[in-house]
Chain A
């Protein structure tokens, strides 16, 4: 009997090129500020404007940040690297060349482990200067515009370009790789990791091939993604698109494609016609960069706890769920907040619940960061303790948290001042319970006849009378005893 052909299974091959804007005070080769959002062309000087005769001088901090990021990505740090000129003409590139690192980058041979078990090898990370920005009048791009204006504030901002090997196998892995990268740069403090503002930019190279095939398929490069979610969506779309073309007997065109957030599609940007000739050669205005072993070791010692180390600590030492650990790792300030509150708070699990629950929800709806709130780690620890030792009810705790987030203050003091502690005094409560039963004989009889729901009525009465500060467990217990 003839075999029916089985459906071909495809696998994706994905590599990422990430540009990280290093958050130095001044530019890579001149003393101008790297501040974002200033008036056009105020942060410029003869060096970054490419004036005749001006010369670059390397920013030491940028080198340190590059090394730190390299170390965090398990890279080898080159004791000797050099800068090269990469040539092309464009109005946002004042010298008509970009100072970059061609064949001797500062970091090589690193890797990042993903939760799927995939190890993504990192080919290299090299330093380079950013270009300026063009503003076009009358059209989206240069073509068709009436005129274009050049803003060179960004020209010369330090970048680290991190190039992965094509080891990523799915859209979800691509997203995780980018999320981890963003966490790492934030933990190191070398970049704010803000994709929307372009502090981190990413190009995704994607090809697909039948499972088992060793040669790579033709790849496309997707640009213009401004969130980790967009990376996942774009990769998913592009994989499906390529598989569909191959399935219908077509072939992939090597091209750059743009991710369109609005339509959730990738669109053709330009077809690659051979490699551009950048005419690289060693930058004669800079001496080769020597980074001593001692310098590297000193930077290694200064490295803060990295995201994966924090995740491991939360899970193995503190027994967090993977979900909770992820929230406190991915949102660095929440993890930092937890670590700051934890020494004052034996009931740290409750602390985590507050952070991953109420507080995360609050930040989301209010579109705030932790730093925008008035809540301090000490106050949160205090609040957890007040709740855990039954001084306040959980309802009170919630109310109090909302106030602490908005106005700040010490929860213990507020509870005392406003008499918000729950009434746990048996004598006082017993008296109230007896009164309520005596005043509502009909309902008391209904309960005695087995109508359990009536208990809720009595609890409600007590709570109303005490403005919610009676210990609900105790009230329940007393009602059962006394009816």
Chain B
């Protein structure tokens, strides 16, 4: 159905001009959550007090005639692997039961500076490991377009709550496609920025060299505005990009794209891709041509190694990053009278982690073991270098590369959970982007026969976010797809029984 509510930027305008108070915007959000959350189950917790405090501050400033910072007053949900001081960070894992963060993530500080009320923390695959949000130890989030299907993952909660129009914006984290794939499956926009553009300080690490906090929005402009808010160098994150010019994506977002050179990735045009998805991508390429862009096929043979190499590097880093959950300092500890240290370690980790996390810890530990390092980790690094090299070469010929975001539309809950390799292949088109550290955006480009959204992925060279937004925005203006939202039936309240 057509969306009738305001976009994030429109809400901000309305608040700034006094048409609507930030508190009333917040009330609307919580009302919608009350309506839809029981069916969607996207939130791990709501942070009403925190949000209201921010909204009150916004209203106070409007009253005294202050000019608000960008997106002030616009409610936002954040993935439950980003730390907010005084609130639990669960990573949807049992092992962090009882953990309350003693500090703020840098990205949360930025939202605070911009007076964006954080309304709640969203569900994810346990420690962001998964492509369906089903590995969460807490709940199963549903796809708003079809409640029997997954929202994608790992940022499934953040994608579903935006897609269901409960909240206009959210943050996820993208390690191998964890924002773009759920954006695609839920029919919204998600961008994985250049590695280092957004500080990782306070984002619970899965695979440090690949993780990047990434925004979701209901349209390209809102998403661009949110990235503008959260990006920037951070002295608390050594891997954040220094001397990056202060971005202003909104200023030039409607620039003409008739000089744009587009490459169509051949390796993602085969029968591993759902036919309706393929067709939709071909239509999208024609849309770009109709906007004046030139298109050409581009071959990136190293993409065939992407999934294998990724599952070595990502699991190796994960096995290291997850060592700290040992029951000594925080979270869950499982011990019995007279159990020694090693028994405590073993029981805590055996009971605290779910099967997918264990699988990856074991895989990563193996890949780093002496005698196997060269055969696995070192080789995967070479594959990563090859991908970077090929992409660099490709970007000498074209400005952006296009391909489907996900090989298929949303699959059924439970369909792939016990078939890890098939699940891993959901990220075949998104993984090379993280491996190369480049930015990529996923935008809706159509629907399949079951009316499930299809996503188009645009990739660009390092720090080409402005260009990606221009291309995505031009496409969105032409197709108008961002105005469609799922028609969520609210279950009728049952009459009271006598």
Question: Contact residues of A with B, CB < 8 Å?
Answer: 45-46, 49-58, 85, 87, 89, 91, 94-97, 142-143, 150, 275, 277, 279-281, 284-287
Given A91-B328, A277-B370, are A53 and B320 also a contact pair (CB < 8 Å)?
Answer: no
Q: How far is the CB of A88 from chain B (nearest CB, A)?
A: 9
Interface pair B341/A142, CB less than 8 Å apart: yes
Interface pair B324/A52, CB less than 8 Å apart: yes
Question: Which among A52, A91, A97 is the interface contact of B91 at CB below 8 angstroms?
Answer: A52
- The distance in angstroms between the C-alpha atoms of A142 and B239, with both chains bound, is 38
Q: Could you tell me which residues of chain B, from 85 to 121, have a CB within 8 Å of some CB in chain A?
A: 89, 91, 96, 99, 101-103, 105
Q: Nearest A residue to B328 by beta-carbon distance?
A: A91
Task: Judge whether B491 is part of the interface by a CB distance below 8 angstroms.
Answer: no
- The distance in angstroms between the C-alpha atoms of A36 and B329, with both chains bound, is 22
Interface pair B370/A279, CB less than 8 Å apart: yes
Task: Judge whether B424 is part of the interface by a CB distance below 8 angstroms.
Answer: no
Task: Judge whether B236 is part of the interface by a CB distance below 8 angstroms.
Answer: yes
List residues of chain B with CB within 8 A of the CB of A284. 207-209, 239, 317
List residues of chain B with CB within 8 A of the CB of A49. 329
Of the listed stretches B183-191, B195-203, B468-476, chain A binds B195-203
- The distance in angstroms between the C-alpha atoms of A55 and B209, with both chains bound, is 12
Q: How far is the CB of B347 from chain A (nearest CB, A)?
A: 14
Q: Nearest B residue to A85 by beta-carbon distance?
A: B320
Q: How far is the CB of B182 from chain A (nearest CB, A)?
A: 21
Interface pair B329/A94, CB less than 8 Å apart: yes
Question: Which among B202, B317, B319, B373 is the interface contact of A54 at CB below 8 angstroms?
Answer: B202
Please name 27 pairs of A and B residues whose Cβ atoms are closer than 8 Å in the assembled complex, sorted by A: A46-B102, A51-B329, A52-B205, A52-B324, A53-B81, A53-B83, A53-B101, A53-B105, A53-B202, A53-B203, A54-B103, A54-B201, A55-B201, A57-B236, A85-B320, A87-B368, A89-B345, A91-B341, A96-B320, A96-B324, A275-B370, A279-B319, A280-B373, A284-B207, A285-B205, A285-B238, A286-B239
Interface pair B328/A150, CB less than 8 Å apart: yes
Task: Judge whether B330 is part of the interface by a CB distance below 8 angstroms.
Answer: yes
Interface pair B373/A281, CB less than 8 Å apart: yes
Task: Judge whether B228 is part of the interface by a CB distance below 8 angstroms.
Answer: no
Question: Which among A58, A87, A142 is the interface contact of B323 at CB below 8 angstroms?
Answer: A87
- The distance in angstroms between the C-alpha atoms of A188 and B320, with both chains bound, is 36
- The distance in angstroms between the C-alpha atoms of A51 and B323, with both chains bound, is 11
- The distance in angstroms between the C-alpha atoms of A286 and B207, with both chains bound, is 13
Interface pair A51/B203, CB less than 8 Å apart: no
Q: How far is the CB of A60 from chain B (nearest CB, A)?
A: 12
Q: How far is the CB of A140 from chain B (nearest CB, A)?
A: 15
List residues of chain A with CB within 8 A of the CB of B365. 279
Q: Nearest B residue to A148 by beta-carbon distance?
A: B341
- The distance in angstroms between the C-alpha atoms of A437 and B237, with both chains bound, is 92
List residues of chain B with CB within 8 A of the CB of A55. 200-201, 236-239
Task: Judge whether B204 is part of the interface by a CB distance below 8 angstroms.
Answer: yes
- The distance in angstroms between the C-alpha atoms of A91 and B333, with both chains bound, is 13
Interface pair A281/B324, CB less than 8 Å apart: no
Given contacts A51-B103, A55-B201, 9 further A-B contacts (CB under 8 A): A45-B103, A52-B204, A55-B238, A55-B239, A56-B238, A277-B370, A279-B319, A279-B370, A284-B209
- The distance in angstroms between the C-alpha atoms of A104 and B152, with both chains bound, is 41
Interface pair A53/B326, CB less than 8 Å apart: no
Question: Which among B209, B323, B377 is the interface contact of A96 at CB below 8 angstroms?
Answer: B323
Task: Judge whether B316 is part of the interface by a CB distance below 8 angstroms.
Answer: yes
Interface pair A279/B209, CB less than 8 Å apart: no
Task: Judge whether B235 is part of the interface by a CB distance below 8 angstroms.
Answer: yes
Task: Judge whether B290 is part of the interface by a CB distance below 8 angstroms.
Answer: no
What 6 A-B pairs are tightest by C-beta distance, nearest first?
A96-B323, A284-B208, A279-B368, A284-B209, A52-B204, A50-B324
- The distance in angstroms between the C-alpha atoms of A47 and B202, with both chains bound, is 10
Chain B interface main SS type: loop
Q: How far is the CB of B487 from chain A (nearest CB, A)?
A: 38
Interface pair B235/A57, CB less than 8 Å apart: yes
List residues of chain B with CB within 8 A of the CB of A281. 316-317, 320, 368, 373, 377
Q: Nearest A residue to B89 by beta-carbon distance?
A: A52
Interface centre among B83, B203, B317, B328 (most CB of A within 10 A): B328
List residues of chain B with CB within 8 A of the CB of A95. 323-324
Interface pair A97/B236, CB less than 8 Å apart: no
Q: Nearest A residue to B330 by beta-carbon distance?
A: A51
- The distance in angstroms between the C-alpha atoms of A279 and B208, with both chains bound, is 17
List residues of chain A with CB within 8 A of the CB of B320. 85, 87, 96-97, 279, 281
List residues of chain B with CB within 8 A of the CB of A57. 235-238
Q: How far is the CB of B468 from chain A (nearest CB, A)?
A: 25
List residues of chain B with CB within 8 A of the CB of A275. 370
Interface pair B204/A53, CB less than 8 Å apart: yes
- The distance in angstroms between the C-alpha atoms of A94 and B62, with both chains bound, is 46
Interface pair B102/A51, CB less than 8 Å apart: yes
- The distance in angstroms between the C-alpha atoms of A54 and B83, with both chains bound, is 10
Task: Judge whether B397 is part of the interface by a CB distance below 8 angstroms.
Answer: no
Interface pair A89/B326, CB less than 8 Å apart: yes
List residues of chain A with CB within 8 A of the CB of B326. 89, 91, 96
List residues of chain A with CB within 8 A of the CB of B258. none
Q: Could you tell me which residues of chain B, from 312 to 328, have a CB within 8 Å of some CB in chain A?
A: 316-317, 319-320, 323-326, 328
- The distance in angstroms between the C-alpha atoms of A160 and B239, with both chains bound, is 24
Task: Judge whether B369 is part of the interface by a CB distance below 8 angstroms.
Answer: yes
Q: Nearest B residue to A283 by beta-carbon distance?
A: B208
Q: How far is the CB of A131 from chain B (nearest CB, A)?
A: 13
List residues of chain A with CB within 8 A of the CB of B205. 52-53, 285
List residues of chain A with CB within 8 A of the CB of B91. 52
Interface pair A286/B323, CB less than 8 Å apart: no
What is the 8 Å Cβ interface bit string for chain B, positions 3-43, against chain A (1 contact, 0 not)? Answer: 00000000000000000000000000000000000000000
Interface pair B323/A97, CB less than 8 Å apart: yes
List residues of chain B with CB within 8 A of the CB of A285. 205, 208, 238-239
Q: Nearest B residue to A58 by beta-carbon distance?
A: B238
What is the 8 Å Cβ interface bit string for chain B, positions 73-91, against chain A (1 contact, 0 not)? Answer: 0000000011100000101
- The distance in angstroms between the C-alpha atoms of A284 and B369, with both chains bound, is 18
Q: Could you tell me which residues of chain B, from 161 to 203, have a CB within 8 Å of some CB in chain A?
A: 200-203
List residues of chain B with CB within 8 A of the CB of A89. 323, 326, 345
Interface pair A287/B238, CB less than 8 Å apart: yes
List residues of chain B with CB within 8 A of the CB of A96. 320, 323-324, 326
Q: How far is the CB of B234 from chain A (nearest CB, A)?
A: 9
Q: How far is the CB of B212 from chain A (nearest CB, A)?
A: 13
Q: Could you tell me which residues of chain B, from 343 to 394, have a CB within 8 Å of some CB in chain A?
A: 345, 365, 368-370, 373, 377
- The distance in angstroms between the C-alpha atoms of A216 and B476, with both chains bound, is 73
Q: Could you tell me which residues of chain B, from 423 to 438, have a CB within 8 Å of some CB in chain A?
A: none
Q: Nearest B residue to A47 by beta-carbon distance?
A: B236
Q: Could you tell me which residues of chain B, from 472 to 486, have a CB within 8 Å of some CB in chain A?
A: none
Given A52-B204, A53-B202, A94-B324, are A277 and B369 also a contact pair (CB < 8 Å)?
Answer: yes
Interface centre among A51, A97, A286 (most CB of B within 10 A): A51
Question: Which among B96, B239, B341, B373 is the interface contact of A52 at CB below 8 angstroms?
Answer: B96
Q: How far is the CB of B67 from chain A (nearest CB, A)?
A: 33
Q: How far is the CB of B436 from chain A (nearest CB, A)?
A: 15
Q: How far is the CB of A438 from chain B (nearest CB, A)?
A: 91
- The distance in angstroms between the C-alpha atoms of A49 and B340, with both chains bound, is 22
- The distance in angstroms between the C-alpha atoms of A97 and B321, with both chains bound, is 9
Q: How far is the CB of B492 from chain A (nearest CB, A)?
A: 42
Interface centre among A56, A91, A286 (most CB of B within 10 A): A91
List residues of chain A with CB within 8 A of the CB of B370. 275, 277, 279
Q: How far is the CB of B258 from chain A (nearest CB, A)?
A: 39
List residues of chain A with CB within 8 A of the CB of B102. 46, 51
- The distance in angstroms between the C-alpha atoms of A370 and B235, with both chains bound, is 42
List residues of chain A with CB within 8 A of the CB of B202. 53-54
Q: Could you tell me which residues of chain B, from 48 to 88, have a CB within 8 Å of some CB in chain A?
A: 81-83
Q: How far is the CB of A52 from chain B (nearest CB, A)?
A: 4
- The distance in angstroms between the C-alpha atoms of A89 and B329, with both chains bound, is 13
Question: Which among A50, A53, A85, A91 is the interface contact of B89 at CB below 8 angstroms?
Answer: A53
List residues of chain B with CB within 8 A of the CB of A142. 341
- The distance in angstroms between the C-alpha atoms of A52 and B91, with both chains bound, is 10
Q: Nearest A residue to B91 by beta-carbon distance?
A: A52
- The distance in angstroms between the C-alpha atoms of A54 and B201, with both chains bound, is 6
